[in-house]
Amino acid sequence: MALHAACAAGRGLPSSSSSPRAGGRRSLSAAERPRSVAFAAPLRTRAVQTKAVLSSDGAPGMSDSPHVVCFGELLIDFVPTVNGVSLAEAPAFKKAPGGAPANVAVGIARLGGSSAFIGKVGDDEFGYMLADILKQNNVNTQGLLFDAHARTALAFVTLRSHGEREFMFYRNPSADMLLEEKELELDLIRKAKIFHHGSISLITEPCKTAHIAAAKAARDAGVLVSYDPNLRLPLWSSVEDARDGILSIWETADVIKISEEEVSFLTNGEDPYDDAVVKKLIHPNLKLLLVTEGPDGCRYYSKDFSGRVGGLKVTAVDTTGAGDAFVAGILSQLATDFSLLQPIARSPEVCKRLWSSDGDRERRDSSTARPTASARLPGQRRCLNDQPPTCCACQCE
Q: Are 111 and 35 in contact (CB under 8 A)?
A: no
Edge-to-edge, what's the strand order for the sheet holding 224-227? 27-29, 140-147, 115-122, 68-71, 194-197, 224-227, 255-259, 288-292, 298-301, 306-309
Give the DSSP H or E segment for 249: none
Q: How far is CA 209 from the centre of its chain?
A: 20
Q: Are 373 and 296 in contact (CB under 8 A)?
A: yes
pLDDT at 92: 96
Q: Are 89 and 170 in contact (CB under 8 A)?
A: no
- Residue 338 DSSP one-character state: G
Q: How far is CA 148 from the centre of its chain?
A: 25
Give the DSSP H or E segment for 353: helix 348-354
Residue 65 identity? S
- Residue 160 DSSP one-character state: B
Residue 214 CA to residue 328 CA, distance in Å, equals 20
Please report, for residues 49, 130, 172, 395, the alpha-carbon distance to residue 111 in angstroms, rounded to integers and kept in the order given: 7, 20, 35, 28
By the 10 Å C-beta count (0-12 exposed, 13-18 middle, 19+ buried), 358 is classed as exposed
Residue 8 identity? A
Residue 89 CA to residue 257 CA, distance in Å, equals 33
Q: Are 156 and 93 in contact (CB under 8 A)?
A: yes
Sequential pLDDT tens for the chain (397 residues): 444 333 333 323 233 333 333 333 446 666 555 433 323 223 222 222 223 333 333 333 444 578 999 999 999 999 999 888 889 999 999 999 999 999 999 999 999 999 999 999 999 999 999 999 999 999 999 999 999 999 999 999 887 766 677 889 999 899 999 999 999 999 999 999 999 999 999 999 999 999 999 999 999 999 999 999 999 999 999 999 999 999 999 999 999 999 999 999 999 999 999 999 999 999 999 999 999 998 899 999 998 889 999 988 888 777 888 999 999 999 999 999 998 887 654 444 444 454 443 334 333 333 333 333 333 334 333 333 333 333 333 333 3
